[in-house]
Amino acid sequence: MLVRNLVLLMLFATVIAPIVIYTDRLATFKLSSKGEIIEGFATSGFTSNSGRLNLVDGESSSTVKEPVATIYSDNNSLPESVASVLQSNGRIQDSRSLEVIERKSSRVLSTTDEEGRSQSENAIRQVTDQIGEANLISWKPNSTSEKNGKMDPNPKHEQPAPQTSDKADEKELVKSRFEQENDQAALPNARVRHLKDQLIRAKVYLSLPGTRNNPHLTRELRLRIKEIQRTLGDATKDSELPKNANERLKTMEQTLAKGRQSQDDCSTVVKKLRAMLHSTEEQLRVHKKQTLFLTQLTAKTLPKGLHCLPLRLTTEYYSLNWSQQHFPGEEKLEDPDLYHYALFSDNVLAAAVVVNSTVTHAKEPSKHVFHIITDRLNYAAMRMWFLANQPGKATIQVQNIEEFTWLNASYSPVLKQLGSSSMIDYYFRAHRGSSDSNMKFRNPKYLSILNHLRFYLPQLFPKLKKVLFLDDDIVVQKDLSRLWFINLKGNVNGAVETCGESFHRFDRYLNFSNPLISKNFDPRACGWAYGMNIFDLDEWKRQNITEVYHSWQKLNYDRQLWKLGTLPPGLITFWKRTYQINKSWHVLGLGYNPNIGQKEIEQAAVIHYNGNMKPWLEIGIPKYRNYWAKHVDFDNVYLRECNINP
């Protein structure tokens, strides 16, 4: 009997009592409101409009289901915070306690079923996937759990402040990563730049004492430098890098981190970087000087084909009969009612383009007369070209500068200066000036009287009233006959002003430290362009412009007022005698400026390849070359024989 009572007592203690106690605990639970979000997530770092994030479905009132397929980021053991909760409670009592554990461990995220997902949850998941700070946990809740879920309204293990801080850190991490990706997207060829930067850093570390004392690090740095150099090769774009470029980049970054740790003296690093910067600046200065010299040399050098062409034409010219060496239409040469052009050039092909482009766009080609003056060497070649390639109905005259016997050193101060020993020494002495800016003035064209004929137009064409002066590096794109009808209002020169660019003002061409210049001219006055100028020869004679030019040339015998060239004396000679015409008549800069708009070029009546990058040279700007080349017949027999190609 005693044994029976003892058994019943134990049965009651082990079976009946837990049931009663459990039933009593269930009675104390209170259902939360429908769709209520767990309070702990309300304290998260996301904004209120982010939707429900990782909402854990509540337990049914009848059954308790634990989550399935729980995955922890740390596979070895539970975090200490989880173990302390297990010890204090003995077990995980409900899903709310589990959620607190998950939040404190910061290792788990849960997902709801497909019907409960929203666009906000998807957006947040993209962020969390990019961060890679958390792992995914799949839940299998009841279909009615969202309606009947139970949650503890007073969780005991809640720490909202750390949670908010963690979320804020995540947001900052995402923001910085997005900014970094945007910066990389904005910078073209970022990987090539990064690899080059790594090379510089590696060479800096390799030269520091802290690295030289570490043989292993030294060998590793040298190895990495060779790898990066092989990876870069001649690549200038990311697309040209090999497939292993990213791997090499990461490996070099690890080695550089070791190099950074080995340096304990920042002042040494700073000194080394300053020395490298100074050396690089010096190298840049030398390279700029070399580039300037080579560019000037290329501009002075005549291409092989253009050297062949006048030789071939000259041979052909002297094989002609005397009767075949004359141009038709000689009666038009002095007719003041026609449109007369003055062109002074020793470049046969350039002169041909000027004439061809002008006649092509002329409305009445028969009224256009071209007066071409060249030197003795190119006289026969120039005549032969235009005899073999007549420009339609236009009239051509080709003259030799030596025919003008009145143009001599006793009459022209500039001819006397060009033949002086000081001028010859300036051009041909062995030890030249140290100023780089002087190099551009040592161009042979400044030694040619052809460049100064523009100041003797009334003497060259005594029976004409107006003459349009053209340089040989221009292309005509519209009919120019309207220029003869522009009222210059008592001025001598009609030209396009160039105030749009600051370096085209008087102080860039004249020496205003000289009292003769500073007293007579305004340093901020607008310059104007040579290359396409309409000159009123009657007004020229009345104002005696040639004598004005001579007087200033005599004052500049020692080149103290301006350096060589024709624009500075032109600015002085035609000071307050120049009429501004619309800039669309003449667009400049195609020989040095690659940024001229296509619309501006196409609307211009004349485009000017002023500068060193002439269209017939290899250094010409490619995108402008076709405007010039389309007026050259590359199928011409003389061009083919001299191998002149587009």
Q: What are the pLDDT digits (tens) for 206-236?
A: 888 778 788 888 899 899 999 999 888 888 8
* Rounded CA separation 105/79 (Å): 7
H or E element in which residue 495 lies: strand 493-495
Q: Which of 559, 537, 556 is nearest to 546 (CA)?
A: 537
b or e along 396-433 (b: 16 or more beta carbons within 10 Å of the residue's beta carbon)? bbbbbbeeeeebeeeebbbbbbbeeeebeebeeeeeee
Say how far apart CA 619 and CA 600 lie, in whole Å: 23
Q: Are 424 and 447 in contact (CB under 8 A)?
A: no
**How do strand 493-495 and strand 532-536 relate by DSSP bridges?**
antiparallel
CA–CA distance from 329 to each of 49, 279, 367, 481 (Å)?
A: 88, 66, 11, 19
pLDDT tens sequence across 66-118? 444 444 444 444 444 444 444 444 444 444 444 444 444 444 334 444 444 44
**E strand or H helix that includes residue 82:** helix 80-89
348-361 and 379-388 helices, crossing angle to 10°: 40
Strands 606-608 and 586-587: parallel
Query: Which DSSP state fits 431?
Result: S
Residues in the chain: 646
The CATH number of the structural domain formed by 304-642 is 3.90.550.10
* Buried b / exposed e along 228-267 (16+ C-beta atoms within 10 A): beebbeebeeeeebeeebeebbebbeebbeebeeeeeeee
pLDDT of residue 476: 97
Cross-sheet strand order for the sheet of 493-495: 395-400, 368-374, 339-344, 466-470, 532-536, 493-495, 578-580
Query: What integer pLDDT is reported at residue 178 of this predicted model?
Result: 55
Q: Where in the chain is the domain with CATH 3.90.550.10?
A: 304-642
Stretches where the chain sits below pLDDT 70 are 1, 15-187, 264, 296, 298-300, 423-447, 500-503
Q: What is the pLDDT of residue 274?
A: 81
Q: What is the 3-state secondary structure (H, E, C) of 221-273?
A: HHHHHHHHHHHHCCCCCHHHCCCCHHHHHHHHHHHHHHHHHCCCCHHHHHHHH
Contact between 86 and 15 under an 8 Å Cβ cutoff? The reply is: no
Residue 372, exposed/middle/buried by CB under 10 A (0-12, 13-18, 19+)? Answer: buried
Nearest to 521 by CA among 536, 540, 508: 508
Give me 112's structure tokens.
Answer: 């709801």
**Which own/partner contact pairs does 174-178 have at CB distance under 8 Å and 24+ positions apart?**
174/127, 174/130, 174/131, 177/130, 177/131
